[in-house]
Structure 1
Amino acid sequence: MPDALLSQVEAKLRLPIEVCERVIEAVYNDYYDFVSTSLATLSSCALVCRAWRPRAQRILFEYVLLRDKDALYRFAELLDASPELGTYVRTLEFRGHLHVPYSPAVLFLTALRGRLANLDVLYIYSFSDAEKAANPLPEGEKELPFLPIYRYFPSLLTSISHIRILEFADVRFPSFGDFARFLNTLSNLKELYCYRIFWAVFGLEPVCMAKRSSHDSRKMFLPNLEMLAVCLRIRHSTGLY
């Protein structure tokens, strides 16, 4: 009899799954200083029980932070095993050493191609000087003078042409033309934030930015852009600003 009463009390004390899901949702914080802790907590929530897993995983994979190529390839392998997780991703962030031959900001276009159908926001952040000091490259490895963009890079960007928000900082491009072609493929951008972006050479005006007499929006450069914030690095004879 006492066992039966205890079982009834436990059943009454069990919280509805909707309440648990609201608590799980409250765990998430996408502010960079807290996101790592939030993601670790959500990972633990996903392992508590089957009832918690769907909501925890959906929130856990809404924001994916990748710091190097190893993390990128591990994530790609995870999507191979569970493709549905890719549909949860709304925000993808790269933060680390990006000016290296194996830059995750470049490799992800092939590693994750076609798997992030609902991606909405892309962050690309190279380490600041302080972060580089705290996370040095392996001995003998050096950064390249700019992002290692290869010939077919712009064409691969079509796989994420649906994103609406792009924010990147401390990124060096080979030329202004490469920078322009990078943006031109992302025709659905509504918000663009460029902080301390620069390039090795300026060169001629890219064809994609040339003025046209046609009013066809498909031929305009960033036709849907509504918000633009820019902070460029400018080389001067006395230094870099």
Structure 2
Amino acid sequence: MTDLPSPVKAQPRLPIEVCERVIEAVYTDWYYSVSMSLATLSSCALVCRAWRPRAQRVLFDYVLLRDKDALYDFAELLDASPELGTYVHTLELRGYLHVPYSPVVLFLTALRGKLTNLAVLYIYGGEKELPFLPIYRYFPSLLTSISHIRRLDFADVRFPSFGDFARFLNTLSNLKELYCYRISWAVLGLEPVCMAKRSSADSRKMFLPNLEILTVCLQIDQGTGLY
């Protein structure tokens, strides 16, 4: 009679809490490493069911979108799994933004109402195909869908006018931190109405009333001489 094979001895497994701490340690929001960390988190989410919830929460805490295709793919994903949108705390738009299909403009309609917990928005421009962002007249009104954000970072972005830049900011009345690096505009123009001085009795309508931190790094435009 042949002996039955001895049962395989179960190997000790790490508690899921330890695995979750490791998953959380993968994430970094450093500009040059964020893409790699997000790719690693995507792999973690596919390892097993036990890893998926924590990996998804960390993965969707910071969303990086480089073009309109990535934007629309993300929008479709949120349509299928709306709960993922509640995980998004930081949204970064990076790449070719001065184009007719600029993600900076399109994301307001594509993701409208889907990022209820968004707190931080990064807008980092790249090579310019148009002289400035293709902002249309109703663009500021769409910004009300993200008026709850607390931090905004701009880098290498050019607006049609200073008024467009001011109206962009004016809608985000809950901003506490604003960082502007190499921001410019095609024309300066008159002082925007939203920035005009108001009486103390009308203080509720102050420009950026909750702002606590402002960092500005501008450069001289070689074409117009404007900052």
TM-score, scaled to structure 2: 0.93
Question: Structure 1 CA distance, aligned partners of 2:173 and 2:180?
Answer: 16
Which residue is equivalent to 2:108?
109
Tell me how far 1:232 sits from its aligned partner.
Answer: 1.9
Which residue is equivalent to 1:93?
92
| 1:208–1:62 CA distance, 2 compared to 1 (3 A) | same
| 1:237–1:109 CA distance, 2 compared to 1 (3 A) | closer
Tell me how far 1:151 sits from its aligned partner.
Answer: 1.1
What 5-or-longer segments of structure 2 have no aligned partner?
Answer: none
**SS of the residue 2:64 aligns to:** strand
Which residue is equivalent to 1:219?
205
Select 2:196's aligned residue among 187, 206, 210.
Answer: 210
**SS of the residue 1:25 aligns to:** helix
Question: Structure 2 CA distance, aligned partners of 1:144 and 1:65?
Answer: 22
Letter in 1 for 2:64: L
Matches within 5 A, 1:1-241: 3-4=6-7, 6-7=9-10, 10=11, 13-127=12-126, 132=127, 143-235=129-221
Tell me how far 1:234 sits from its aligned partner.
Answer: 2.8
**SS of the residue 1:32 aligns to:** coil
TM-score, scaled to structure 1: 0.88
Letter in 1 for 2:54: R
Letter in 2 for 1:207: V
Which residue is equivalent to 1:136?
none
Question: Structure 1 CA distance, aligned partners of 2:204 and 2:226?
Answer: 37
Question: Structure 2 CA distance, aligned partners of 1:238 and 1:215?
Answer: 39
Question: Structure 2 CA distance, aligned partners of 1:177 and 1:107?
Answer: 20
Question: Structure 2 CA distance, aligned partners of 1:189 and 1:217?
Answer: 16
Tell me how far 1:5 sits from its aligned partner.
Answer: 5.9
Question: Structure 1 CA distance, aligned partners of 2:103 and 2:89?
Answer: 18
Letter in 2 for 1:43: S
Question: Structure 2 CA distance, aligned partners of 1:19 and 1:237?
Answer: 56
| 1:204–1:231 CA distance, 2 compared to 1 (3 A) | same
| 1:216–1:3 CA distance, 2 compared to 1 (3 A) | farther
- The percentage of counterpart residues that share the same residue type is 83
Question: Structure 2 CA distance, aligned partners of 1:164 and 1:47?
Answer: 32
Tell me how far 1:2 sits from its aligned partner.
Answer: 6.5
| 1:236–1:26 CA distance, 2 compared to 1 (3 A) | closer
Letter in 1 for 2:28: N
